[in-house]
């Protein structure tokens, strides 16, 4: 990885339309985006929704990328992919969505603005993020000093179902 590139981890989720298709399509779109190299992706996982339970389960995955974008350029790129997949942003927090792309980690950056928070808020508390992240980067140390595989081992992964690849 050239020194001007940044390693980032992207959380991917969908529970509308055909969620498996949406997640796979998003991974392809990320891989085809300018100035982004898709390094690795996790398996797909089925998980219950956060927040309102009167919505379908989510399909989630995590992608590891390398990019020459800065974190805000990457955010803009990912929001464009969300829009291309029919995402309509609403004020309803944790509502159903065709596609949700979150920057979980961006190099060693810590950012806390109105539009972007890195590490992603709640990262260490969400099995649907931690388990797939530990699958592709088990030795990753989070900014809080915790190893992602140790964190995943303590999570209640019974709330997740790993989907079989076709």
Q: Residue 133, Cβ neighbours under 10 Å: how many?
A: 27
Candidates 2, 15, 36; CA nearest to 128 is: 15
Phi-psi region at 35: left, alpha or beta (left = phi > 0; alpha = psi -120 to 50): left
Q: Strand (E) positions, the chain?
A: 6-14, 36-41, 45-47, 58-67, 100-106, 111-112, 117-118, 161-162
Tokens, residue 165 = 């690849």
Tokens, residue 92 = 């309803």
* Distances from the Cα of 13 to the Cα of 30, 59, 67, 110, 160, angstroms: 13, 6, 21, 23, 13
- Are 40 and 31 in contact, with CB atoms under 8 Å apart? no
Active-site annotation, residues: 87, 97, 100, 102
């Amino acid at each position: 990885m050239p020194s001007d590139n940044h390693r980032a981890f992207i959380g991917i989720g969908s529970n509308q339309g055909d969620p498996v298709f949406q997640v796979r399509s998003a991974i392809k779109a990320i891989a085809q985006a300018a100035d982004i190299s898709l390094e690795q992706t996790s398996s797909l996982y089925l998980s219950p929704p956060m927040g309102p339970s009167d919505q379908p389960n989510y399909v989630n995955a995590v992608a590891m990328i390398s990019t020459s974008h800065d974190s805000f350029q990457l955010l803009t790129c990912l929001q464009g992919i969300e829009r291309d997949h029919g995402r309509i942003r609403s004020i309803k927090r944790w509502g159903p969505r065709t596609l949700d792309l979150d920057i979980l980690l961006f190099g060693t950056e810590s950012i806390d603005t109105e539009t972007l928070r890195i590490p992603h808020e709640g990262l260490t508390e969400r099995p649907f993020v931690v388990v797939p992240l530990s699958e592709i980067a088990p030795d990753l140390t989070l900014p809080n000093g915790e190893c992602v595989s140790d964190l995943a081992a303590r999570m209640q992964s019974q709330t997740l179902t790993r989907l079989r690849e076709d």
